[in-house]
Structure 1
Amino acid sequence: MELFLFWLLRASVLMALFYGLYKFFLAHTTFHNVNRFSLICMLLVISVLPLFRFNFILGKKREPLTGAFSTDLSSIPVTEFVVTQPRVEIPWTHILIMLFAIGFLFTFIRYLIGLSQIAVIIRNSEKKMLPDQTVLWVTDKNISPFSWMKYMILSRGELSADNQAVIRHERAHIHFRHSVDMIFFDLFTCIFWFNPFSWLLRREIQSVHEYQADEKVLSEGIDSKQYQLLLIRKSVGEYKFALANNFRQRDLHKRIDMMKKDKTNRRLKWNYAMVLPVLFLAMTALSAPKLNAKAETTENFPGDVGKVTLRAGGGKHPLYIVDEKIVSEAEMQKINAAEIESVSVLKNNSAIGMYGNKGKEGVILITTKKSNRDALSTGTGTMDSLRGDVKDLIRRTQENSAQNLVRILENPPLIIVDGEKMPKDFELKSILPDEIQSMSVLKDKSAIEMYGDEGKNGVIIITKKIPDQNP
């Protein structure tokens, strides 16, 4: 689902780039055939290019690892460690997918209704053959002349008026197969219903279709002035179908201006070369690292890997998670490098977004090939959050200060000091930080298995220093 959303995002960016390029450099020219081809190519590039990632700029050749693997975390900017109860995450991905699906279904159903209306008109129309072998479907409805695929539909009033210009115009649409273009652009707007540039591109292809049909009509000897007056007369009073190629069109003044316009200098076809730098820019943007809230997993390299060393500069303490369980740095260092499947690093907003304030100093995710251990957090003078009914568990460490504050509100966990269970009203602040040799945290299943019901809110195990170890 996330990949689909990223495809929509990248395609939307490309759409804006290409629309701006077309409108600024190409839309005002009289190269109608080339413009039509350009718009169709843009549609294909917008749809296909975001599916690929290009590493010709940022990519680096990866070499097999045969020595030690090291990750420097010194760039993680943090000053304190705050652990809170896990937050209720809002499923934004599912919400966005749901909104997209609703919009798509609404737009697609409207499209199908439009097609069905055209089909009903054709089915209820009378088929006629003109002397020049042109096939018409004549309807009694007061509608604007239009064509769809091989069908040319006129009202009975239009037929009696013997409007050769109208018939030639719609025959030009059929000749150029403009309806095929409209099918692709209509489906494109159904998918990108939320993006105004998709509707603008659809409007541009409709304009090009009308320019092509007008040009062909005038090339067959129809008087330009009379044809323009006919367009003006037909611009009001009749119903038209948005999905079909209509004789009259919203931007009538643009069509008339285009008919009056001199042919564009052929040298201006070099403007189409502007597509190349825009395409290069798009490929460069797509070569950037993938935006993803999840961790980017390192690749596995062949060869014998030595030990794994993870360094966090500046005295910072990232959150270590092994097989989805929080562990201390000491436990992490005990892991055999041969057992590691992958190592990932989350920083800044990515870490906080996935793990809340627990990931403020960064998160190191380690996945082992086999996971048989329960969650256990241990370490010297460190502490991790407790799940269950623990409402607030905070440890603050001030720089250049040995004072620590541990605060637990509501349903306190079981506290064990030097192997003895403490009463429920026991206060952790009664133990000075300098008296603590080590502090460990058991959570969830591990705590309940070892201490039964008493450990349902978590267990804090404290080992105090022996007197001669106190400074």
Structure 2
Amino acid sequence: MADYLVYSTLCTVVTYLTYKYILKETRLFTFNRFFLLAGTLVCLIAPLLEFSWGNIYNSAPKIEISQLISSEIEIENLDQNTISYINPETPLIIYLISISYIIISNIFIFRYFRNINSIIKSINSSTRIKKKDYYYLHTSNYQKYSYSFFRTIIIPFKYLKNKKLSDILIKHESTHARQLHTLDILLIEFIKCFFWFNPIIWFLKNEISENHEFIADKNVINQNINPTDYISQILRSMYNSGTGLTSGFSLVTTKNRLNMLTANNYSKRKKWIRLALGLIVTLFAFSFTSFNPDDINNDPFIVIIDAGHGGKDPGSPSEKDINLMISKEILNQSQNTNIKIILTRDSDEYISLSDRVTFINNQKADMFLSIHCNNSLDPEKNGPEGYFSDKNEYHNLSKKATEIVVSEQVNEFNKKGKIKTAGFKILKEINKPGVLLELGYMSNKEDSEFLLNSGNHKNIADNILKSLNKIEKQMR
């Protein structure tokens, strides 16, 4: 979430500055309208997406394991020692921020729909005096300003007494109605309900509204209206909409509008240069926020995933199947990422511990992770546990990796996790950092129900991949 907020904010900053200092002066008002809207939407959506570029790696080669079936399943001396606990991350400040965000967003949403309702009531209480092909003209004695809402135009009755003024107002507002500028305003105001904390969204909303006025002003002038007369009529109509959801004859940006009406046009060449520059800057911002640079010129981070047990060794009830399903889900989610997964088994087969160790040591991988489900005579025991061997050559890296893996699972289960050392053969005899992850206790009702629900496997696998990404950054 923090990454999303940073990237989306940076992208909106680039979009705003690109428009403000490059595109605005081109007076390509229609293009700018769609640039502002599309740019805002892209900035909010792009950071949620992730596209890989650079090298796409094929699956790492797998060495075949000899199928040696022992007459007995190997039993290990566990020799476990708990060295630390990991609690779910629920800081009070995060809770307070979340509650504050929900409350404020709901206030904005309430205000949004209240304003729409207020406009509809105002229109219903007005008098329709004319119907054209693309708009309805209404008037009201109680209205102090002219505005349009979709295809309805409201002109104060007092302005209708001045034919020159009313004609200009109708021409101006009919542009808003014909081009449905209300849709733009409703969209950006709705976005503000959820991104009210980003000041750039407020600035973009102002620019969108101002650009609507530029479009309407230009359309009026193009109808053989004298610019001087038009400016004088603008100065006679200094009223603003009270809701912010209508397109109005607004003078909040009067100075800018007058400048646009009187400024000299750029040459076509300068316009195209500015347009191209603006698009290049915006595309760069989009690529920065939505493309993953980790894949560029980097070797893949290769992880051996061991689905514990299998075949005639079932482990805890349903464990071998859960281990395999989650391991396959990790493999599936890792496609087109810099994390490359090698599975020790991809079917329900028995592989001895010695064969697993031999297989792991023959692979050119960066680390090893074994997936398991725990069991206990005490049904109250619950939560994830991670093991590493202090006899392993890479025990310091293994310990750090174990802490990261368990932390991600703790946040999923919302339970306390444990970090333990253990004399597991599969951890102490391998030639790379290794972690054995117990996802939860099958002997605990709540853990068991969670792990048996295949709908949760995707989240578990996603958390494991997140932890592997963090481990990669620690190791490289």
TM range (shorter): 0.5 to 0.7
Aligned partners of 1:179 and 1:245 also within 8 Å:
yes
Q: CA deviation at 1:135?
A: 3.2
Distance between the aligned counterparts of 1:87 and 1:37, measured in 2? 44
Partner of residue 156, structure 1: 157
Per-residue CA distance 1:234-282 (angstroms, 9 max, x = gap): 115x764421111123010110110001222212223222323442344
* Cα offset, 1:94, TM superposition: 4.0
SS in 2 for 1:27: helix
Q: Which residue of 2 aligns with 1:327?
A: 420
Alignment counterpart, residue 237 of structure 2, candidates 231, 234, 240: 234
1:301 is aligned to 342
Going from structure 1 to structure 2, the CA distance change for 1:90 and 1:205 (only over 3 Å counts) comes to same
Alignment equivalent of 1:66, drawn from 42, 52, 62: 62
What is the correspondence of 1:167-178 to structure 2 with a 5 Å cutoff?
167-178=170-181
Which of 174, 185, 188 is the aligned partner of 1:182?
Answer: 185
Q: Distance in 2 between matches of 1:182 and 1:195?
A: 17
The answer (yes or no) to whether the contact 2:11–2:285 under 8 Å persists in 1 is no
Secondary structure of 1:231's counterpart equals: helix
Residue 202 (1) aligns with residue 205 (2): yes
The answer for the alignment partner of 2:111 in structure 1 is 110
Corresponding residue for 1:266? 268
Write the letter of the residue equivalent to 1:265.
S
Give the Cα–Cα distance (whole angstroms) in 1 for the partners of residues 397 and 48 of structure 2: 42
Say which SS state the counterpart of residue 158 (structure 1) adopts.
Answer: helix
* Cα distance in 1 for residues equivalent to 2:248 and 2:206: 13
Q: Please list every run of 5 or more consecutive structure 2 residues that lacks an aligned counterpart in the other structure.
A: 65-82, 296-302, 304-329, 331-338, 346-358, 362-366, 369-391, 407-416, 445-476
Q: What's 2:437 paired with?
A: 367
The residue number in structure 2 matching 1:147 is 148
How far off its partner does 1:326 sit?
2.1
- For the Cα contact (< 8 Å) 1:148–1:179, is it kept in 2? yes
Q: What is the aligned partner in structure 2 of residue 248 from structure 1? A: 250
Q: CA deviation at 1:9?
A: 3.8
Cα gap change, 1:368 to 1:147, in 2 (>3 Å): same
Check conservation: 2:59, 2:340, Cα contact below 8 A: no
Distance in 1 between the 2:343 and 2:268 partners? 57
Aligned counterparts of 2:242 and 2:426: Cα–Cα separation in 1: 75
The 1-side partners of 2:48 and 2:111 are apart by 28
* Other structure's SS at 1:210 match: helix
**Partner amino acid for 2:17?**
G
Once residues 255 and 43 of structure 1 are traced to their aligned partners in structure 2, the CA distance between those partners, rounded to angstroms, is 23
Q: CA offset at residue 120 of structure 1?
A: 1.1
Which one of the candidate residues 276, 280, 292 is aligned to 2:284?
Answer: 280
- SS in structure 1 of the partner of residue 53 of structure 2: coil
* Length-normalised TM-score, structure 2: 0.60
Q: What is the CA–CA distance in structure 1 between the aligned matches of 2:251 and 2:47, rounded to whole Å?
A: 33
**Contact kept? 2:7, 2:289, Cα under 8 Å:** no
Where 1:47 maps in the other structure, the secondary structure is helix
TM-score by length of 1: 0.60
- Which of 1, 8, 13 is the matching residue for 1:11? 8
Distance 1:9 1:106 in 2: 24
Q: How many angstroms apart in 1 are the aligned matches of 2:194 and 2:87?
A: 36
Give SS of 2:25's match.
coil
AA paired with 2:420? V
Contact 2:15 2:39 in 1 (8 A): yes
Q: In structure 1, what is the Cα distance between the partners aligned to 2:41 and 2:250? A: 28
C-alpha displacement of 1:288: 4.4
- Aligned residue for 1:221? 224
Q: C-alpha separation between the residues in 1 aligned to 2:200 and 2:157? A: 38
Alignment partner, residue 307 of structure 2: none
CA distance in 2, matches of 1:189, 1:62: 43
Could you say what secondary structure the match of 1:326 adopts?
Answer: strand
Contact 1:143 1:240 in 2 (8 A): no
Separation (CA, whole Å) in 1 of partners of 2:180 and 2:275: 24
> Separation in 2 of the partners of 1:315 and 1:108?
49
**Structure 2 vs 1, CA of residues 93 and 134 (structure 1 numbering), >3 Å: closer, same or farther?**
closer
How many pairs align?
A: 327
- Which stretch shifts more, 274-283 or 118-127? 274-283
Distance 1:133 1:43, change over 3 A: closer
Aligned-pair RMSD on alpha carbons?
Answer: 3.8
CA distance in 2, matches of 1:337, 1:186: 61
Quick check: 2:427–2:435 contact (8 Å CA) kept in 1?
Answer: no
Q: 1:225 offset after TM fit, Å?
A: 0.6
Amino acid at match of 1:227: Y
- Distance in 2, Cα, partners of 1:38 & 1:371: 54
Deviation at 1:60, TM superposition (A): 5.1
Q: Larger radius of gyration, structure 1 or 2?
A: 1
Q: CA deviation at 1:55?
A: 2.0
- Structure 2 Cα separation of the partners of residues 327 and 373 of structure 1: 19
**Pair 88,278 (structure 1): closer, same or farther in 2 beyond 3 Å:** closer
Q: Which residues of 2 match residues 19-168 of structure 1 at below 5 A?
A: 19-57=16-54, 61=57, 63-64=59-60, 66=62, 89-90=90-91, 93-129=94-130, 135-162=136-163, 163-168=166-171
Alpha-carbon distance change, 273 to 311 in structure 1, aligned in 2, over 3 angstroms: farther
For residues 104 and 119 of structure 1, what CA distance do their matches in structure 2 show?
A: 23
Structure 2 Cα separation of the partners of residues 215 and 193 of structure 1: 31
Deviation at 1:221, TM superposition (A): 1.5
Residue identity matched to 1:148: F
1:21 partner amino acid: T
User: Partners of 1:87 and 1:214 in 2: how far apart?
Assistant: 58
CA contact (8 A) 1:67 1:306 kept: no
Alpha-carbon separation, structure 2, partners of 1:282 and 1:11: 10
Q: CA shift at 1:219, angstroms?
A: 0.9
The AA in structure 2 aligned to 1:327 is K
* SS of corresponding position for 2:148: strand
Offset from partner CA, 1:50-72 (integer Å, 9 cap, x none)? 12112214x6525325369xxxx
Give 1:52's aligned amino acid: L
Runs of 5+ unmatched residues, structure 1: 69-81, 291-295, 346-363, 375-471
Deviation string for 1:176-225 (max 9, x for gaps)?
21111111111122121100100111111111100010011111121111
